[in-house]
Structure formats: C-alpha cells, structure tokens
Structure 1
Amino acid sequence: MNRPLRHVWLVVSVLFVLLFTSTTYFQVIAQGRLNAHGQNDRTLYNEYGRHRGPIVVDGHAIAVSQSSDDTYGYLRTYDPGAMYAPVTGYYSVVYGFTGLERSLNDTLSGEADALFYHRISDILSGRQGRGATVELTLDAAAQEAAWDALDGRRGSVVALDPETGAVLAMVSSPSYDPNQLASHDSAAVNEAWTALQEDPDRPLTNRAIGGDLYPPGSSFKLVVAAAALETGEYTAESEIPGPGTWQLPNSSAVMNNHAAGGTEPCGPEDTSTLADALRQSCNTSFAMLGVDLGQEQLRETAEEFGFGQSLEIPMSVTPSTLGEDLDDAQLATTSIGQYETRVTPLQMAMVAGAFANDGVVMQPQLVQAVRTSDLTAVSELTPQELGQPVTAANAAQMRQMMVGVVEDGTGTAAAIDGVEVGGKTGTAQWGEDRTPHSWYVGYGQLEDRKIALAVVVEEGGYGSRTAAPIAQDVMEAVILP
C-alpha cells in the first residue's frame, strides 16, 4: 500500500472509531440523561402524548385523558377539579406533575412493572397502549360534605375507615383548579401558576398530609390519656390533680386550666377523674399527667400511633413530631398539644381510628384497586396494621371517655342522634396575637358503619364551635347515607 492510501485509510479508521464511540456514548451511556433533559421535545411528546388511565371515585372519573388536536395528543382534564385537586394533583406539560399523578405515574401511564403482560397483549393484538384505571377509596358523599362544610376556609378534613385504613375523605382548603395547570396553552398555564404561587393562602399545599404542620392543641390529650392507660397505673376513673392554675416546673410561667384563660379547678379539691378531665379539657390535669408519665412513655405511645413515621398512601406524608430533649416545663406544654408538637390532620385521624378499631392503627391507603383497560384487577386494597398503641380494653375506655366529651363536654356540636359519637376538641395556640386553630378529632359508628376523622380550621377559634360541626356533617354523610 502506498503512502497516500495509508493516510486515507488511517483517517477513515479514525473517523469510524470516533463515529462508533460517539454513537455508543449518546445511545447507551448518555441515554438516560438526554431523555430526562428538560429541552428534549421528543421525550416530552412521548410522555404527554401517552394515554393515561382515569382516576375514579365511586364510579365517576375525576381525572381523564382526552384526545387533543395538538402535538401532545392527549389533554388531562379534571371534574370536579378543586375539590379533589390535593389528591389528584395536576399533570402539566409546563410544571410536571404532583399528587397521585406523580406518585402513580407509572401506573397511570401503563409503564408499571405490574402491567408488563398487559402491555405485551396490547402490542400483539395491535391495540393502542392505555394506562391503568386507579379506583380510589374516597367516599364521594364524605368528600363533598367536608368540602362544603369548610366553605373555602383555610384548613383540612381527613376521614378514614378505622378497620381498613381506607381514606374516605381528604380535603384541603383553599384549593385550585388543576385544569388551569393541565392546559396546553403555556402562556395561560404560566399566568395561573404565578397567581397560585403568589396567593398567601397557599392553595397548592395539601394541608392534610404536609405543608406547615399544625399544633394539635387539646386534641393531643387523647394521646396522653392513652399513654396513661397503657402504663396500667390509670383507668378512666383514676383521680388526677387539676388545679385552676399551675406554675410549670423550674419556670416562672403559669398555666391556666382552660384555653380561654379560666382558672377554675377541674373538680372539688382540685381533682377529677381522668374521664372528667378529658371531658372538660383540663390543661393543668394533662400537663401534670404528661410530666408524671415522662417523655419516654409519651413518645413511645405517640410513635405507635404513627408519629415520626414516613408514610406513603401512596403520596408521601410529612411525619408528625414531638419536641426533642424536653425538660419538664416543655413536656407539660407538649402534653396539651403545644410547644413543638406538630401534626398532620391525617395523623390525628389515625389516632381516632385506633380507638374505634380496638386499639389497632391501620396503614392509611388511598387506592382501592388498579385495573387494566379491560377492568382486570391488577391490585386491590389489602388492609395492613401499622401498630397497636393501646390494648382493646384500653381502647374501649378511650371510646367511653370520648363519648363523654360529645355527650356532656366540649364536643356536643358533633353529636348525631342515634349514633355513637366520640371525640375531642382542640383550640391550638400558634402565634402571638393570632386567633387559635380549631380542631376536632373523633369517630362515629352505627352498626357496621364506622368513620374516624380529624378536622382543623386555621384561625377558627374554639374547636367546639368551628371544627365540631364540620365533623358532624362528614360523619353523617358516611353513617347516615
């Protein structure tokens, strides 16, 4: 071979190696990064041009994919939008996805491993691939009752089936219309997004399971009472101190007996039964009881209810927390649901659910079933125990005390004729010169129909006046359909 030909051969060889190397790099090594790149239009069209399965509540599709006459192929729509938005989330070509649209993306798009054989069947039969249908546990009547009762006020309602963990209602208010973010009109989507981001009421936050968690106020006394019963040293009829005021240990601060600043003792000679202390919501009683129990016992019981646990329902739930390394004054304040105690409404519904389920906390779940396009079930809800913070006998005592709160205490506004209703109100201080948050946590049962729930209304004032009537509406929707 003469010298010029060798040069040509060498150049061609080098070019071939470079071509092979670059092709291998971009198609194999860099494939994942390039596919995930935000400016890769092909990936966007593949993702948003795929049919997604519907999200269904009580037979009604609250999120569906409709054919669109544009480059994306399908448009996600929501009906009704705002009432379910904290659950469904949005599916946006501009801002991605949230809620169940995100956590169940593989299922809704048909790409989940569990749908592999269904995808193969579609390919072999020539059918267009379709995402799976996701049926939710939500009860449409309970969801609507909670939504209507909150009436746009900032707050949340979560209701559970205490025996299965099925989420019957999950409302966060104020909410937003996910259709505005799912639109293919980028300018309109950006305008809607900016307005939502600038809204001081934070409508994009799912208050039921995240955001800035709430102090539970006196509703946390349910956890303290349960912890006391579990020691074996207390019963519902045990006498406990309840002076009108109490100076906190190693502190100059003085605690009043009631949220309104009342200084009346809980009973004659500054004592009452544990049941009466809960019925009257005596601050000093539970502060002193919490100090007597100690931080370890209180924390252990709270963790059995789910505090500190990272839950997936399948959306991620922010863990509820107690303060760390508490001195006695801090422990006393923690025991009435203040100091650094922070909870989600879902967590407090789980607390109530344990008492209605013989002491067992069930794993909360939003998905009833996943079905293929031919309605074949891929998965169905399987109840799972999360823990047992109290024995069945102590759960019965807690129900008895909670019924007392509703029949002749601070929770009378939640009562329903002919129905066993038990609960606890809360008035949670959260900022200087700010109106307290309003809480109600409880359960209702009639024959085989049961519900456990938590209601919080931000700056709603007394739980007995604001949250309890909302709870009544939601319980009626489930128990008295």
Structure 2
Amino acid sequence: MLFALLAQLTLVQAFASRDLNADPRNERTRIARFGQPRGDIVTYDGTAVAISRETGGGPYRYQRFYPHGEMYAPITGHVSPRGAGGIERAREAVLSGDDTRVKVQSLVREGTAQGADVWLTIRKRVQWAAYRSLKASGRPGAAVAVNPATGAILALATYPSYDPNAYATFDSAALAATDDRLRRDPAEPLLNRALDRTYPPGAMTGLIAAATALTTGGHVPSTALDLPGDAHDQNGRYCGKSRLTLSQAFRLSCDPALADLGRSLGQDALRDQAEAFGFNTTLTVPLPVAASTYPSSQDKPGGALATAGTSDIRLTPLMVAMLSATVANDGTLMRPYLVERARLPGGSTINRAGPSPYRTAMSPAMADQLTTMMTTRPWPPGVALAATGSATVFTAFAPAGAPEVAVGVVLDRPGPTAAIARAILRAALA
C-alpha cells in the first residue's frame, strides 16, 4: 500500500500537475491568476484596450478591465475565472509572465518577475472606423484592414460584438448567467466573424478567375470572351450581346462570361490559383483562423460554377482582405499578423514581429494588370481606388498606384459594403 501511495504521488507530481493547474475548477490556480497584474494589451498607437485594476480586497487582488469594450472584443477576448479567449488566451504566457523569455528578462532587466505588455498592429482610428461603420449598417458582418507590404492587420472588427467586461466579474453566478445569455443569443455576439466564420465568395470568384486567366490562361485584359446571347448577371444587370473583353467582364461581374471563362480554364487551374492566394490552408495571426476552402471537384462544369460564385467555395473576411493585399503587393502575399511586439513595463522589448512572405500568387506584371482592371474613379479626390465586390462581399486597396492599405468587408445580408470599405480606407489614409 505504501509503494502504491508513493507511485500515485509521483504520478500526480510528475505528470498530472500541469493538467491539474490548468483545470478551471482549481481555485488555487484561479486565485494565483488574479494575484498579480497581467500585462496590458495595447494598440500600435498606444491605446490600452485591456488592463488590470486592483480590486481592493478579497482573494482576487486584480481584475481585468476593457476600456473600449465591444469594439476590441474579437481581438482582446477576455480573461475570467472560467478561462480566457482572444489575445488573452493566445498570449497568456506573455501576459501572465509565465513565458520563459519574459520571466528571465524581467528578472534581469527589471529585477522582478512580471507580465509583459502585448502591443498589437491595430490602429485605433482604423479600428474605430471599421466597427462604427459596421454597426451603423445594422447588419451582422466583419471588416479587416491589412498593410499589403507587411501583413500587419490594421483593423479587425465584428458586429454584433459583446462587452468583455461582463466576463471579468468574480461573481460566479453572474458569470454563468452572462455566459449562458450570450451563447444563447441568436445574433451570435461571441462569434469572431472576421476569423471564425466562412462565407460564400460572391464577386471574389471573379478576381480569382481573372488572376488565373492572366497567369496561366494566356489571357490579357483585352482578350475577348464569348457571351451566350443576351447576357445578364445574377442581379439582372445587362452585360452585352456577343463579346466582352476580360477586363469588361471583370468590371461588370458578368457571370455568364466568367462562367464560360472558368469552364475553359478548368477547375485545377482555378484551385491552384486560389491556393496561391492562401485557400485550403491553416493560419494563425496568432488567433486561429478558419480555413478558406476551394472545392476539389475536377470537372469543367465545376469551374463554371466556381467562377459564377455558385459553388461550395467558402472564405473568411480576412481572406477577402488578403486577396486585395496580394494584388496590391505585386503578387506576393505577406503573412498576416496581429501582434507587433511584447514589452516589459520598464520599456524593454521581448520580441518584435517582422514582415514575412506567405504566398506568391502572380508576377508583378500580372498584378499590375489586375490592378488596372480593379481601378475605379479616384476616391477620395486624387486617390485612385482598386476594388471589386458586391453588396455582401467587397475588397479594395488604395492608393492603387502606391498601396498602403487593403480592406475586406463581408455582411451576412446585402448592405453598404462599399461604403464601409471606403470609411475604413479614409481612416487609414488620413
């Protein structure tokens, strides 16, 4: 019996301790988590969006507070006695000070072990424009803005959202009631639509088809495409009678012409081009991102359906922004990232993110041709906008000649996607 007891004790201490410490029912672990201040979560321009405040008494000495609530909730997530989400979870070790690099460097440089601040790539002005314009539309959806040259995410907004402060309570009954209410809400405020939900591609299939035609199909923007008689798009708009150029079909989102183009290109070429844009792969930013998927059907009718936007293609709002970002950056997609650096309270930087190429989708020459096809009249005055989309899915980048920001907007039902994108671009270029 003594040997059995010793064996069990050894098993618990050597192998089960980590699981026991991570168990949310472990009161000692929960108290320890809030026994010292966590690092702040801060925007690129220095606005704190998650901080720790002293409680003034009780077993929990510090409580998390989110000054801007629902606007940043899809990014920050929340931390509570029940667990954590968002950046609070993805960078838990850094924020709490458990990360080895943070622990060692804080002891060496600051003299005490402490959590590090996490600085985001998010720009306050751009995030505000994204969230407020989504909310003003009154429609569920998401918007993402990316720096094409670096991959830094400038805004990541979801509507509807929730107030993470509701999860920061230490009242277990109130916490349980809040969690139950939000999970039952049919509007799904806890869902990070920008990263976790995939949508039908809409006009984005036209962008993929045009890129495929330019890179592998031997086409140029002036290549003529046949039309099956009087052609109309899915919205009933008239395309033409006999022929359109590739550029015209793309600008008009003429489904019959694009469907015939997809049939001639073939599903293999279309899927290869989509995967060059980042489809059918997993990604973390460091929040996990749902995979944008392109079907594996090999038949020619599948290619026609894909380019007409009626297949099983699904994509995230982040991917919508990535499509524009790739074209804007001369055909090279940079790996998207949300965390710029970790920094100790004394100012010492622990680590810093850097731009990293992720995919090469086309040559600079082909990207320039596609940019020309996407370019619309100057907006705002003097700024050329490259864009394509519909009332549910819209992507753009600006300025077209020297891109600084790429945007993706997706709404659950038709709405002002173009206006939302323009509001974000205006904020980013201000």
Q: What band does the TM-score fall into relative to the shorter chain?
A: over 0.9
Q: Give the equivalent residue in structure 2 for 1:79.
A: 67
Q: Which moved more, 1:359-368 or 1:36-45?
A: 36-45
Q: Among 416, 426, 429, which residue is 2:380 paired with?
A: 416
The CA distance in 1 between the partners of 2:85 and 2:344, in whole Å, is 22
Tell me: CA distance 1:48–1:298, structure 2 relative to 1, closer, same or farther (3 Å): same
Residue 108 (1) aligns with residue 95 (2) = yes
CA-CA distance at 1:122 after TM superposition: 7.4
Q: Give the equivalent residue in structure 2 for 1:250.
A: none
C-alpha offsets along residues 393-451 of structure 1, whole Å, 9 cap, x if unaligned? Answer: 01001110001xx33xxxx9xx3211010110125xxxxxxxxxx12111112786611
Report if the CA contact (8 A) 1:242-1:282 is conserved.
Answer: no
Q: Among 17, 21, 36, which residue is 1:31 paired with?
A: 17
Q: Give 3-state SS (helix, strand or coil) of 1:370's partner.
A: strand
Q: Among 201, 209, 226, which residue is 2:187 paired with?
A: 201
The CA distance in 2 between the partners of 1:216 and 1:22, in whole Å, is 55
Report if the CA contact (8 A) 1:137-1:365 is conserved.
Answer: yes
The CA distance in 2 between the partners of 1:401 and 1:446, in whole Å, is 11
C-alpha offsets along residues 87-146 of structure 1, whole Å, 9 cap, x if unaligned? Answer: 11111112x1111111111111111232242244379x4x3x321111111111111111
The CA distance in 2 between the partners of 1:25 and 1:402, in whole Å, is 63
Q: Among 221, 225, 230, which residue is 1:240 paired with?
A: 225
The CA distance in 2 between the partners of 1:114 and 1:198, in whole Å, is 40
The correspondence of residues 364-403 of structure 1 with structure 2, limited to 5 A, is 364-403=336-375
The correspondence of residues 86-97 of structure 1 with structure 2, limited to 5 A, is 86-94=74-82, 96-97=83-84
CA-CA distance at 1:195 after TM superposition: 1.4
Residue 324 (1) aligns with residue 296 (2) = yes
Residue 474 (1) aligns with residue 412 (2) = no
Q: Give 3-state SS (helix, strand or coil) of 1:170's partner.
A: strand
Instruction: Output the amino acid matched with 1:274.
Output: L
Report if the CA contact (8 A) 2:266-2:299 is conserved.
Answer: no
Compare CA radii of gyration and give the structure with the larger one. Answer: 1
Q: Among 141, 146, 149, which residue is 2:125 paired with?
A: 141
Tell me: CA distance 1:177–1:291, structure 2 relative to 1, closer, same or farther (3 Å): same
Residue 223 (1) aligns with residue 208 (2) = yes
Q: Which moved more, 1:139-148 or 1:23-32?
A: 23-32
Q: Give the equivalent residue in structure 2 for 1:425.
A: 389
CA-CA distance at 1:244 after TM superposition: 5.2
The CA distance in 2 between the partners of 1:31 and 1:192, in whole Å, is 31
CA-CA distance at 1:389 after TM superposition: 0.6
Report if the CA contact (8 A) 2:217-2:265 is conserved.
Answer: no
Q: Give the equivalent residue in structure 2 for 1:98.
A: 85
Q: Give the equivalent residue in structure 2 for 1:260.
A: 235
Instruction: Output the amino acid matched with 2:252.
Output: Q
Any gaps of 5 or more consecutive residues in structure 2? none
Q: Give 3-state SS (helix, strand or coil) of 1:163's partner.
A: coil
Tell me: CA distance 1:232–1:20, structure 2 relative to 1, closer, same or farther (3 Å): closer
CA-CA distance at 1:453 after TM superposition: 0.7
C-alpha offsets along residues 450-476 of structure 1, whole Å, 9 cap, x if unaligned? Answer: 110111121125xxxx10011111101
Report if the CA contact (8 A) 1:219-1:426 is conserved.
Answer: no
The correspondence of residues 118-157 of structure 1 with structure 2, limited to 5 A, is 118-121=105-108, 125=111, 127=112, 129-151=113-135, 152-157=138-143
Q: Give 3-state SS (helix, strand or coil) of 1:159's partner.
A: strand
The correspondence of residues 275-354 of structure 1 with structure 2, limited to 5 A, is 275-354=247-326
RMSD between aligned residues: 2.0
The CA distance in 2 between the partners of 1:377 and 1:236, in whole Å, is 48
Instruction: Output the amino acid matched with 2:383.
Output: V
CA-CA distance at 1:77 after TM superposition: 0.7
Q: Give 3-state SS (helix, strand or coil) of 1:217's partner.
A: coil
The CA distance in 1 between the partners of 2:16 and 2:371, in whole Å, is 60
CA-CA distance at 1:241 after TM superposition: 1.6
Report if the CA contact (8 A) 1:243-1:257 is conserved.
Answer: no
Q: Among 17, 36, 40, which residue is 1:54 paired with?
A: 40
Q: Which moved more, 1:285-294 or 1:18-27?
A: 18-27
Report if the CA contact (8 A) 1:356-1:443 is conserved.
Answer: yes
TM-score by length of 2: 0.94
TM-score by length of 1: 0.84
The CA distance in 2 between the partners of 1:470 and 1:115, in whole Å, is 39
Residue 360 (1) aligns with residue 332 (2) = yes
Q: Give 3-state SS (helix, strand or coil) of 1:209's partner.
A: helix
The CA distance in 2 between the partners of 1:423 and 1:48, in whole Å, is 47
CA-CA distance at 1:21 after TM superposition: 4.0
Q: Give 3-state SS (helix, strand or coil) of 2:108's partner.
A: helix
